[in-house]
């Protein structure tokens, strides 16, 4: 049973987003920590080897699921992905960092004992699986249908179901997501082979939809090494809510996510990309909010009569929070 669990975790994590890993920092900014964390201890098994590296690189597995080199990489990638999802100053971030410290202590006590390392890594895989369930709230299609209803939008002079367009921009797996300071989770995606069609959903930890958003022609408007940018006239970030009161607590995340998309995500800010992040975040972002259901304009949810004003908010969320 334990080997089956490890196999399932390997299958889930091998399709992750990246191979950078983060070193511990005194702050509880898990995405920032992820940016400097290594996703494996073996480091290519290049000499000289530490006792832990020797255990990983020289271990003779009894069955293929006991392959320490593979397990080392798998749980490493899983930890980085968990860090990127855990958010800033959240209970999940603090708990994850504390548990990882204990994990590293146990690994060091194993020294070059491969059987000990195997047991500790398997236990850590179970802990990561527990965090994965915590950090990934359910995103049920039924919940999205209930939230959106029968709303349609106009695209290129034709009517398109809002739910269809939302799902079009999230046609990928796994979906990137990150915990927000207030406890909600922002989940996003893009259309395969067309990253200019993006969608996002903000849910609470129980999976209750707070808002949905559609981004068009926003992604990578400010390419790497560029110092300035300009959005094309058709660029837009449309946000749909049922209760306008949810805008104020979630708008900073929408603003920072839009800025991150402009930059192509994966920005180190605070850090070397701070100036770019500041430029993108202070640019007049093309965000417009609409209230559902919209009865004006024959069901067109983006009809001007359905638009609602954006509240004035202070944004303390960095675009560096969003990685994919």
Tens digits of residue pLDDT in 217-249 = 999 887 766 666 778 888 999 999 999 999 999
Q: Give the per-residue pLDDT at 263.
A: 92
Q: Determine which of 77-86, 117-126, 211-220 has the lowest per-residue pLDDT on average.
A: 77-86
Average pLDDT over residues 2-29: 42
**Residue 96: pLDDT above 90?**
yes
Rg (CA), the chain: 22
Lowest mean pLDDT among 69-83, 140-154, 256-270, 286-300: 286-300
- Top pLDDT among 176 and 232 is at 176
Output DSSP code: residue 66. G
Task: State CA 162 to chain mean position distance.
Answer: 23
CA angle 127, 131, 132 (to 5 degrees): 115
CA distance 209 to 199: 14
Mean pLDDT for the chain?
Answer: 86
Q: Which residue has the higher pLDDT, 324 or 254?
A: 254
Match 């004035």 to its residue by tokens: 312
**Nearest CA among 152, 258, 241 for reference residue 203:** 241
Q: Which two tokens stand for residue 50?
A: 């530490």
Q: How far apart are alpha carbons 237 and 254 in whole angstroms?
A: 9
18 pLDDT band, cuts 50/70/90, is: very low
Is the pLDDT reported for residue 19 higher than 70? no
Tell me if 185 sits within 8 A of 202, measured CB to CB.
yes
Residue 299: the pLDDT is 60
DSSP secondary structure code for residue 246 in this structure: G
Cis peptide bond N-terminal to 98, omega within 30: no
Sort strands 209-216 and 236-241 into parallel, antiparallel or unpaired: antiparallel
Q: Which of 1-10, 24-33, 149-158, 303-312 has the lowest mean pLDDT?
A: 1-10
Residue 204 β-bridge partners: none
Q: Hey, where are the domains in the chain?
A: 2-135, 141-321
What is the pLDDT averaged over residues 295-321? 84
Q: What pLDDT, on a 0 to 100 scale, did the predictor assign at position 138? A: 81
With a cut of 90, say whether residue 140 has pLDDT above it: no
Answer whether residue 93 shows pLDDT above 50: yes
- How does pLDDT run across 34-79, given as a tens digit for each residue? 878 999 999 989 899 999 999 999 999 988 889 999 999 999 999 9
User: Residue 46: beta bridge partners?
Assistant: none
Q: Cβ atoms within 10 A of the Cβ of 14, count?
A: 12
Phi and psi at 308, nearest 5°, equal: -125, 150
pLDDT of 1 > 80? The answer is: no
Tell the residue number behind the tokens 């983060």, with chain if given.
Answer: 22
DSSP state string for 266-308: ---TTTTTHHHHHHHHHS---EEEEESS--SGGGBTT-GGGEE
pLDDT at residue 297, rounded to an integer: 59
Best CA proximity match to 180, nearest among 281, 252, 237, 128: 252
Q: Which residue has the tokens 């400010």?
A: 222
Confidence grade of residue 269 (pLDDT, cut at 50, 70, 90): confident
**H helices of the chain, where?**
2-13, 30-34, 51-58, 68-86, 91-110, 114-135, 141-148, 162-168, 247-263, 274-282
Choose between 172 and 51: higher pLDDT: 51
User: How much is the average pLDDT of 301-314?
Assistant: 90
Q: DSSP state, 100?
A: H
Q: Express each pLDDT in 271-304 by its tens digit.
A: 889 999 999 998 889 999 999 988 765 667 788 8
Task: Please determine, for residue 29, whether its predicted confidence score (pLDDT) is greater than 70.
Answer: yes
Between residues 284 and 214, the one the model is more confident about: 214
Among residues 188, 180, 187, the alpha carbon closest in space to that of 136 is found at: 187
Please name the residue that has the structure tokens 């000990």.
116
């Amino acid at each position: 049973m334990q080997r089956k669990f490890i196999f399932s975790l390997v299958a889930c994590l091998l399709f992750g987003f990246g191979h950078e890993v983060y070193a511990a920092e005194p702050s509880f900014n898990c995405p920032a920590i992820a940016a400097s964390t290594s996703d494996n201890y073996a480091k290519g098994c290049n000499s000289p080897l530490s006792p832990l590296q020797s255990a990983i690189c020289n271990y003779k597995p009894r069955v293929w699921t006991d392959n320490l080199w593979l397990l080392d990489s798998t749980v490493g990638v899983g930890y980085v992905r968990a860090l990127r999802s855990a958010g800033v100053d959240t209970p999940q971030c603090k708990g994850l960092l504390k548990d990882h410290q204990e994990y590293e202590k146990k690994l060091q006590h194993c020294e070059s004992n491969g059987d000990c390392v195997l047991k500790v890594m398997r236990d850590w895989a179970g802990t990561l699986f527990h965090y994965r369930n915590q950090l990934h709230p359910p995103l049920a299609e039924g919940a999205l249908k209930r939230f959106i209803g029968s709303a349609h939008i106009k695209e290129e002079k034709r009517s398109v179901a809002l739910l269809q367009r939302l799902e079009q921009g999230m046609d990928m797996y796994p979906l990137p997501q990150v915990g927000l300071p207030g406890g909600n989770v922002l989940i996003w995606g893009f259309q395969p082979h067309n990253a200019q069609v993006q969608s996002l959903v903000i849910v609470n930890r129980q999976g209750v939809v707070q808002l949905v958003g559609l981004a068009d022609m926003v992604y990578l408007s400010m390419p790497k090494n560029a110092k300035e940018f300009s959005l094309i006239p058709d660029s837009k970030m449309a946000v749909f809510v049922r209760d306008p009161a949810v805008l104020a607590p979630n708008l900073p995340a929408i603003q920072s996510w839009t800025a991150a998309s402009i930059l192509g995500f994966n920005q180190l800010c605070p850090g070397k990309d701070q100036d770019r992040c500041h430029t993108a975040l202070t640019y007049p972002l093309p965000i417009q909010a609409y209230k559902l259901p919209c009865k004006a304009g024959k069901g067109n949810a983006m009809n001007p009569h359905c638009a609602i004003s954006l509240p004035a908010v202070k944004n303390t969320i960095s675009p560096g929070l969003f990685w994919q």
